[in-house]
Structure 1
Amino acid sequence: MSWPILGTAMAALAIAGMTPLAAHGPPVADPDARLRDSASGADWPAYGRTLGEQHFSPLSAISTGTVARLGLAWSIDLPPGNPMSAPIAVNGVLYTATGYSVVRAIDGASGRILWTYDPHAAEAAGKKLRMNWGSRGLAWWEGRLYVGTVDGRLIALEARTGKTLWSVMTVGKEDMRSITGAPRVFDGKVLIGHGGADVGPTRGYVTAYDARSGRQLWRFYTVPGNPADGFEDSAQAMAAKTWSGRWWEHGGGGTAWNTFSYDPETRSLFIGTGNGAPWNHRVRSEGKGDNLFLCSIIALDADTGRYKWHFQFNPGETWDYNAAMDMHLATLPIAGKPRKVVIEAPKNGYLYVIDRNTGAFISADRIAKVTWASAIDSVTGRPVETPGARYADGQSFELWPSPHGAHSWLPSAFSPQTGLVYVPVMNSGETFSNAGIDPQSWRHPDTGEWSPAARVVPVSGQQDSYLLAWDPLRRRQAWKVPTPAAWNGGVLATGGRLVFQGQGQGRFIAYDAASGRRLWSFDAGVPVLAPPIAYTARGKEYITVLAGVGTTAGVLGGEMAMTVDYRSQQRRILTFALGGSARLAAPVPVVSAWHDDPALLPDAQAAERGFGLFARRCVACHGMPGASGGTAPELLRSAMPGSAETFEQIVRHGALQSQGMPAFAELSTQQLTDIRQFLHAQAHRQAN
């Protein structure tokens, strides 16, 4: 075929609605076919597998009757970096984005690495690196892969080779917006949000790009900006009426950093939004108004980005409560008629069912310990808040669930087979107060540090967790299984009537989806918290999950069920199949020890100053000394603080920035010494 004839043929295919991307496979009439909830399940091309984000696979070869024969088929050891991300799989090839969005293509049957792509995101991130632990996943569409980076890029790669097809910057280079969530692709568009509401004056938005070219199509802001600048659309003008004071100077928040769902029938895109910036409602909005669209589901027209409806879970959000958790699209027989719904368990301790055509409230039920509200109004869906929950002047309030959420970002799942929602629930609490906060003068620090504008102290000794199977139609618990410590893993439900979940004590477990009976488990040796997926390769069904600790779960080492060290923990891709007989390689011991600096004479006042600096700059990744859980090195088992020169090169000058350690160029020599004094004091206290 000559090139002119080939060009004519390609044009004809385009006119017919087919995609002529020969290098990525044969043309298809429906580019979204693999993403539809009705797809076969051979592939897992998106974060939740399909547009409806159910985290359900219809594959059934691995089932309640066969799971006893499930074994390890292959594994890959990964370098240091966040392993708590969701893989995808298409045409028998597995794709992962771990660490700072390092993408790998892997033969799904053998575990052979086909190619690796590194965007060098950590080196480009600057201050954005200070509250960011890397990628949660990626997406596939029409032979392309899409991944976001901590520095704010959205990148399209050729799936066959890893070649860069296009790259766009989705945020401001100097702002605190960054990307951790997986992109979503629908109807030729790729959608991305961002985080950053906890560390700077951030106004949230989502952006849709042309999936083929990277051209920006539309952007929707999740909170209103400065009225003096005019509003982008009528939804912003409406939302502004629910804010007070000079909220735009604080950013407002509402970042859509994690989950989205799409209904192709109504061409509705559902956005789950985050907390306020800062958390404290009294600082952000004078304690007045609902502050739309914080902690909400927003339905948008997928073609234009125009507002359709919203439902707000926490009006006037003031506790870091997010609605950026999984939104499962389902059809339930309510009042004798099929009703299209969206099901979500946000952070706040309730599980909601909302009409996805209108946003009308259907139901909400408590699934965890809740102290901030006594009930949800059965007509409006608005919470009945507990007196004192907003921690007014001179008062404190013990908040359950904590800001980690009764359901965090680790995915829940909905099975259309059983009709149940499977939620990894955490029970933990924190005490909130306004101590030391002046709402009139408070401003976000410009250092990229965590800044809630409230005093938040963990409630110790009472946390637990469980895997909950909830019947959203009958509004009752079907079963519940206790899980170790506070953190438990993301969930996969399958057509084999199984539920897979990893746990913090190192086991990967399969349960009977109907009864919760434990049928199979595997000892991974490290916590398994990432969401599993199911797919086929060469005609065989596989289950894949990433093992190892990262993100917030690894910072809060005291909330894990086993001790995890950053340097020695095994970060692995684990893949299972019926009849699998592979074995894990023995871990290689890594010995690290504290080194004293004889020239650093004890100074209690300097150590006290160092504690304040450490709490603001370092604790977000390292945790408190002696309690780091694997996201970053345990500094009390490190030689680095024992050398003033090494400490300065790493902390001030960014010598390890490529490995995720940000530079703190603003710290003076005295401040570096104060932090070292604090670490030395802690090391001697633990030794004695």
Structure 2
Amino acid sequence: MTPERIYDSLATGSMQKYVEGLSDIQKRRVAEFMSGRPVGSAKVGDAKNMPNQCRNNAALPNPANGAAWNGWGVDIANTRFQQAQAAGLTAAQVPRLKLKWAFGYPAGESANGQPTVAGGRVFAGGDNGFVYSLDAATGCVYWSFENGSIVRNALTIGPITGQGSARYAAYFGDGQANVFALDAQNGRLLWKTKVDPHFVARITAGVKLYNGKLFVPVSSSEEFSSGHRDYPCCTSRGSVVALDANTGKQIWKTWVVPDEPKPYKTQSNGVILYKPAGGAVWNSPTIDPVRNAGYFGTGDATTAPSPRTTDGVMAVNINTGELLWSYQAHENDVFMGGCTLPTRGDACPSPNGPDLDIGNSPILKTLPNGKRVLITGTKTGEVFGLDPDNNGALVFRVSATGVPATGARGAGSIVWGGAVDDRHVYYGVSGIGLTALRPASGERVWVFTPPAPAGGRGGLLGAAPTAIPGVVFEGASNGMLYAVSAADGKQLWEFNTAQEFETVNKVPAHGGAITSTGAVIAGGMGFVGSGYAISNGASGGNVLLAFGID
């Protein structure tokens, strides 16, 4: 349902009596939260109303050829490492990077969809209910598609058959748990599948395309529903769903919490409570062709007791969805985000938290000795490596903060992901800095700490880093984008994205926090969305920036 219809229902319609205590602004915010996009964004977001439309729409080349950053992690192993030829950018050239163009998301408040680069185009979505196809060199717009909800993930471009003239599809999920396949040439809808009927289910991470299957991570916003005593908590469970990439039909679905929720208590107000629940999947799955397996991180439980599949890594058979093994990084973690409110219900756990989801994609890396390791970070600032060839046996578990881990969340969290090259694995450790470790052992090699806030910059480094040969890019909570040497962490370049920009589509736009998705590099250019208004205290923004050398 659109935010306009929800707002009308709250302001003058059938839901008016239930929100008598809310102001008009609060009703708008509720409508925007439920729909996943701002009120009034539908008309202004359409590319047909933009002055920078591309003059022609030449046939899209095969996205498998040429320079590309396709999807979240650039490859099925989620390495976030761009090879030299595809990067088209060297360490020596990085200090010469300049802003080439800026694109504003109309009526947007949070530019949190990571751009995808393929076939000379940029595909990206934001929180205004639209996804866009732009020319990578100039920023002119080829098309837009109104999906109607927030897109917090990276699109994936790949071949599709049986859909008329369409040769390549743009795949993505949205804030209402819908998965879309669009004709990448013109934005025409090819199919749409709702992968979870629960009203709080959503897709916050990129889908993964492999051998004709689309692997979809499903998360949830139910943790925040616990603040309302009238809500019959908790019934939402995280999952990964496999779809036929050509048709959108479901092949299998694997729940993180395997048992279906059932009633266990009736509150004094008559509201029935349910369990088990939780285990949201906030990250893009990693594919292992050697083991015919898919790996993904899992969230905390929302009801006690917490299953052993929560707060960890799950491995499933990519043909059947069968669980192969799981590793739990943190046990007994039951968390509900709304339990600090005075209106909270009896579903609130005690203790509440500590909220230690594994929100980042596992990185699959082959070491120089031929052994393989699956690497993941945690909100406690730890990094652990698992052996994918030995049922997920623990290889190492270390603190990336420089001090022993306490098992609690605090300064030093790893949330959004890492990158790996032949020498190091890199993580933005919030409150510490960009940290390089050895992928075989987790030994810390160097830390890049941004300039102190007293200097007018600073900022927490928590976004997913991006690596090319010799360079690592990392965003900061204050909008700074840094490039540092992969060898020793010395700064090579910086750019302040937290400012207003003149945009190619003439939309007023400004940057903000770079807190979740990272920069992407392809064809000698870099692209990043600036503005993340979802985290508490983070500054929003609605701009997509493109950089190139002189």
TM-score normalised by length of structure 2 = 0.72
Partner in structure 2 of residue 556 of structure 1:
537
Q: Distance in 2 between matches of 1:355 and 1:101?
A: 40
Supply the AA of the counterpart residue of 1:188. G
CA contact (8 A) 2:355 2:409 kept: no
Map 1:105-504 onto structure 2 (within 5 A): 105-121=133-149, 134-142=151-159, 143-173=168-198, 175-196=199-220, 197-198=222-223, 199=225, 200-201=233-234, 202-226=236-260, 249-278=274-303, 284-285=304-305, 291-318=307-334, 319-333=354-368, 337-357=369-389, 358-368=391-401, 373=406, 399-401=408-410, 406-409=413-416, 411-416=417-422, 419-426=423-430, 464-483=431-450, 484-486=458-460, 488-495=462-469, 497-504=470-477
Please say if residues 528 and 546 of structure 1, whose CA atoms lie closer than 8 Å, have aligned partners that are also in contact.
no
- Structure 2 residue aligned with 1:622: none
Larger Rg: 1
Once the two structures are superposed, the pairs formed by residues 79-94 of structure 1 within 5 Å of their partners are 79=106, 80-94=108-122
Question: Structure 2: where are the runs of 5+ without partners?
Answer: 1-58, 160-167, 226-232, 264-271, 335-353, 451-457, 500-510
Q: CA deviation at 1:139?
A: 1.5
The equivalent of 2:488 in structure 1 is 515
Contact 2:401–2:432 (8 Å) recurs in 1: no
Change (3 A) 1:81 1:342: same
Give the direction of change, closer, same or farther, for the CA distance of 1:178–1:355 in structure 2 (3 Å limit).
same
Rounded Cα–Cα distance in structure 2 between residues aligned with 1:323 and 1:531:
18
Aligned residues: 423
Secondary structure in structure 1 of the residue aligned to 2:176: coil
Quick check: 2:127–2:151 contact (8 Å CA) kept in 1? Answer: yes
Give, in angstroms, the shift of residue 370 of structure 1: 7.3
How far did residue 504 of structure 1 move?
A: 2.5
Q: How far did residue 356 of structure 1 move?
A: 1.2
Tell me the alpha carbon deviations over residues 628-661 of structure 1, each in whole angstroms, 9 at most, x when there is no partner: xxxxxxxxxxxxxxxxxxxxxxxxxxxxxxxxxx
Q: Counterpart amino acid of 2:321?
A: G
Q: CA deviation at 1:100?
A: 4.8
Q: Contact between 1:533 and 1:544, CA under 8 Å: does it hold in 2?
A: yes
Give the letter for the 1:158 counterpart. Answer: D
Aligned to 1:616: none
- 1:488 CA displacement: 3.8
Mapped contact 1:154–1:167 kept (Cα < 8 A): yes
Q: CA deviation at 1:513?
A: 0.8
| CA contact 2:153–2:172 (8 Å) conserved in 1 | no
Q: Is the 8 A contact 1:54 1:329 kept in 2?
A: yes
Measure, in 2, the Cα distance between the counterparts of 1:93 and 1:145. Answer: 12
Return the structure number with greater helix share: 1
Give the whole-Å Cα distance in 2 for the aligned partners of 1:48 and 1:65: 24
Quick one: distance in 1 between partners of 2:355 and 2:404? 15
**Match of residue 532 from structure 1:** 519
Report SS of the residue matched to 2:528.
Answer: strand
State how far apart, in whole Å, the 2-side matches of 1:408 and 1:41 are. Answer: 31
CA distance in 2, matches of 1:82, 1:507: 16
Structure 2 residue corresponding to 1:72, chosen from 99, 106, 114: 99
Q: CA 1:161/1:291 → structure 2, altered by over 3 Å: closer, same or farther?
A: same
Q: Percent same amino acid among aligned pairs?
A: 23
Measured in 1, the distance between the counterparts of 2:258 and 2:442 equals 36
The letter of the residue matching 2:363 is: H
Contact in 2 for aligned 1:223/1:294 (Cα 8 Å): yes
Residue 124 of structure 1 corresponds to none
Q: What is the distance in 2 between the residues matched to 1:222 and 1:248? A: 20
Separation in structure 2 between the aligned mates of residue 414 and residue 477 of structure 1, nearest angstrom: 14
* Displacement after TM superposition at 1:249 (Å): 2.0
Which one-letter code corresponds to 1:185 in the other structure?
Answer: L
Deviation at 1:366, TM superposition (A): 0.7
Quote the Cα distance in structure 2 between the aligned partners of 1:273 and 1:149: 19
Deviations 1:584-615 (A, max 9, x none): xxxxxxxxxxxxxxxxxxxxxxxxxxxxxxxx
Letter in 2 for 1:105: S
Cα displacement (A) at 1:56: 0.7
- Opposite residue 393 of structure 2, the aligned amino acid is A
Q: Displacement of 1:474 after TM fit?
A: 4.6
Structure 1 pair 355–41 and aligned structure 2 pair: CA distance change class (3 A): farther
Measure how far apart 1:106 and its partner are: 0.5
SS in structure 2 at match of 1:520: strand
Aligned residues of 1:101 and 1:135 also touching (Cα < 8 A):
no
Distance 1:369 1:406 in 2: 12
SS of 1:473's equivalent in the other structure is coil
Partner of 1:602: none
Contact 1:101 1:147 in 2 (8 A): no
- Contact 1:349–1:407 at 8 Å: present in 2 too? yes
d(CA) in 1 for partners of 2:409, 2:472: 27
CA contact (8 A) 1:369 1:401 kept: no
- Of 467-476 and 264-273, the range deviating more from structure 2: 467-476
Q: Could you give the per-residue CA deviations for residues 381-439 of structure 1, whole angstroms, max 9, x where no partner exists?
A: xxxx6xxxxxxxxxxxxx4337xx71112x321113xx21111111xxxxxxxxxxxxx
Distance in 1, matches of 2:495 and 2:171, equals: 31
Q: 1:306 to 1:100 in 2, by over 3 A?
A: farther
Contact 2:109 2:531 in 1 (8 A): no
- Aligned partners of 2:262 and 2:113: how far apart in 1? 41
Deviations 1:462-487 (A, max 9, x none): xx341111123253221111233445
If the length of structure 1 is used for normalisation, what is the TM-score?
0.58
2:238 and 2:255 map into 1 onto residues whose CA distance is 6
Q: Answer yes or no: is the 8 Å Cα contact 1:489–1:528 preserved in 2.
A: no
* 2:81 corresponds to: 56
Structure 1 equivalent of residue 455 of structure 2? none
Letter in 2 for 1:556: G
Q: Distance in 2 between matches of 1:249 and 1:224?
A: 14
Aligned position for 2:67: 42
